[in-house]
Chains A and B, each alone.
Chain A
Amino acid sequence: MKDENRTNLEPVDRERRTFIGAAAGVGASMVAPGVILHAVEAAPRATSVSSDVRWGLAIDTAKCAEGCSACIDACDRENGLDLQTKPKPLSESKWDQQKAVWIRKVKLQDNQTGRITNLPMMCQHCEDPPCVDVCPTGASFKRADGIVMVDRHLCIGCRYCMMACPYKARSFIHEALEGQLTSVPRGKGCVESCNLCVDRRDYGEESTACADACAAEGHNAIVFGDLKDPESPISQLLKALPTRQIREDLELNTGVRYAGV
């Protein structure tokens, strides 16, 4: 099957990736027409994922600019979401509700004060993820480093995780996909969501596509980092700013924190 790429967690693939990684050290390399691997300096992770770190995001909503969509565009490019095409007979409005979205902008207004807030929403990488609890096959899983993601080869597309996620963070692939990125296997009939650029994690890169893009725009509203490292920029930021989890009442201990909501 065309879209049957291996996930980054299977041993076979790890070897392949080591090889590709070595080749890619030189710069961007073309492995197949249309498939460009990222240029990375660091060698791919040889050790297993460790629970010494917990990856997360801190979002300073005061810095998130209205009308800016840099993070979304970057995410779409990074994960091949920009390759989705609307099935011809489908109406635009329906497509809007059916296409996969990993990160979205939300604009809020306080009912009492009228204050406007802009923020990006994505999978909150819950420490106690309801999506993982309910998944019948274990396709939804949490890595030791706190990243919650879907194993595309175990997912049967039951969509129970989507029912369970309090943040509406997940998308179901409603249509056949073509021309995907090797680094991000996706496919019709499966569920997917933000995985904190897990591919970059395995290559030991610094940040996520969204955080990079936001910084490049000069906004710096998204900070990525290790929540367990007290010295990391994200921990420093969380120390300095009052932040909260969305739907704190559910006590999921999310890995994504927001300031100013």
Chain B
Amino acid sequence: MMKRIVYREWRIPPARFWGILGILASVIGIGTLSFGYMEHQGHWVTGMNNAVVWGLPHVFAVFLVIAASGALNIASIGTVFRKPIYKPLGRLSGLLAVALLMGGLLILVTDLGRPERLIVAITSYNFSSIFAWNIFLYTGFMAIVIAYLWTMADRQGGPFNRPVGILALFWRLALTTGTGSIFGFLVAREAYSAAILGPMFVILSFAYGLAVFLLVLMFAFAEEGRVIGPKILRRLKNLLALFVAGALYFMLIYHLTNLYAAKHDDFESWLLLHGGIYTFAFWVGSILIGGLLPLWILYHPEKGKNCNWVAAAAALVIVGGLSTMYVVIIGSQAYPMPLFPGQTILESGFGDGVGGRAASYWPSIPELLLGLGGVAVGLLITAVGVRVLQFLPESLADDVVPVDEETLGEAAFAKPA
């Protein structure tokens, strides 16, 4: 009953395709202009300052980087964990991983104070810097994923598929942990010094990566009239729900451990109760929009079966993810550095959190456009990729997708004894 999976290029009408490409290219163009502007003027045109040194571009960049790692998850589940039903999705999963990573890295680079010195970063290396290690992790990731794609697409690569898949899986976990550790290694920052940050980034990456993957898949299929059968939709949305619930759980643990580690409870009570925009972003953005609402949709008996609602849930997860990154990256910088425990700072010539006040940061338009530009780069690579190469399965209808071992189990279970 299982048919051979046929992959086919994305054959939407050329006008439509070029239209989509045009939109993405203009977003990239505007992002490039913002980059030029920030570069020419200097960072004073951004909202960043000497207290909040990483702004909105880093929010987008880190989101894309970890979403990239999470997007590869689908391929891993298919090959490494031998769930054949995910196999047809492996190629798109790999492509998205590379594309999102490119987008994220481009943002990181264009937000440097001296991007033209990137070559310095490559030639003069500080091996004790986790940041420098991340460059290896990122480039290695791309190479491995490309190899992985080859094993999926080429018959000769077949035998290597699983080994490369396993390598990709571990590399990916290292990459996300490494990205999380960029923050975890900062002994100085109250918010970050929790061992749980790395694992939390891994589970967040699962959720964000799958959400992006789902949206892209649904859009591509809907545009061309390919079918996503209820069986695979149910699997994917259950998986998303699982990851979102996991992310919620980890965030809870993270904040609770921080709250009970006496040293951090100032920061936590600030963030959870009095942090203004950050408190709002946390409760409304991360918890409600990025967690509870999508869970409600995904587990809803009716809405959970509806393509549009599932897509909406995925979109909410992405919004919530950006908001989580905002809280993690910017909130923790805005919170004053604990320099003098037991003392209140009355005056300072450098905004050390006078009277415990948080530093101010408000993102500027160019920063936002730069971030969106990076997202568009990821999507453009994906769009071109699926157009020219055979990344998308022809159909994901129930009778085409490989046997779903779980459904078999359920069917047996459902039979009256």
Contacts and interface: CB of A to CB of B under 8 A. Distances in A.
A95 B360 CA distance: 12
B131 A134 contact: yes
Given A116-B346, A137-B120, A162-B50, A106 B113 contact: no
B44 A168 contact: no
A72 B349 contact: yes
Most buried by A among B51, B53, B135, B352: B53
Interface residues of A, number: 60
A130 B279 CA distance: 29
A182 B359 CA distance: 33
Contacts of B53: 159, 162-163, 172
Interface string A81-121: 00000010010001111101100111111111000110001
Contacts of A154: 117, 120, 124
A188 B129 contact: no
Interface string B93-127: 00000000000000000001111011011001110
Given A104-B348, A111-B344, A116-B346, A97 B359 contact: yes
A210 interface: no
A261 interface: yes
A174 B53 CA distance: 10
B49 A174 contact: yes
Given A101-B350, A104-B350, A155-B114, A134 B50 contact: no
A87 B120 CA distance: 29
Interface in A213-259: 246-247, 250
B345 A189 contact: no
A19 interface: no
Contact of B121 (A136, A162, A168, A170): A136
Interface string B41-53: 1111000111101
Contacts of B347: 105-107
A137 B346 contact: no
B44 A130 contact: no
A209 interface: no
Nearest to B362: A94
A63 B347 CA distance: 17
A49 interface: no
Contact of B43 (A95, A136, A174): A174
A133 interface: yes
A188 B135 CA distance: 24
Contacts of A158: 112-113, 121, 131
Nearest to A96: B351
A70 interface: no
Contacts of A190: 113-114
A157 B345 contact: no
Given A97-B49, A135-B126, A157-B112, A109 B344 contact: yes
Interface in B159-197: 182, 185-189
Given A111-B343, A134-B129, A189 B43 contact: yes
Interface residues of B, number: 51
Given A156-B114, A157-B114, A101 B50 contact: yes
Interface in A1-18: none
A212 interface: no
A139 B49 CA distance: 21
Contacts of A175: 41-42, 44
B113 A157 contact: yes
A39 to B, nearest CB: 29
A165 B333 CA distance: 12
A166 B338 CA distance: 8
Contacts of B42: 87, 173-176, 188-189
A65 interface: no
Contacts of B130: 134
Nearest to B349: A104
A156 B112 contact: yes
A110 B43 contact: no
Contacts of B112: 156-158, 189
Contacts of B13: none
A167 B340 CA distance: 10
Contacts of A172: 43, 48, 50, 53, 113
Most buried by B among A130, A158, A160, A261: A158
A130 B187 contact: yes
B25 interface: no
Contacts of B156: none
Nearest to B350: A104
10 contacts: A69-B349, A108-B346, A112-B342, A130-B188, A134-B186, A137-B126, A159-B113, A164-B188, A165-B188, A168-B339
Interface of A: 69, 72, 87, 90, 94-98, 100-101, 104-112, 116-117, 121, 130, 133-139, 154-160, 162-168, 170-176, 188-191, 246-247, 250, 261
Which 7 pairs between the two chains have the least Cβ-Cβ distance? A157-B113, A189-B113, A166-B188, A104-B349, A97-B49, A174-B44, A104-B350
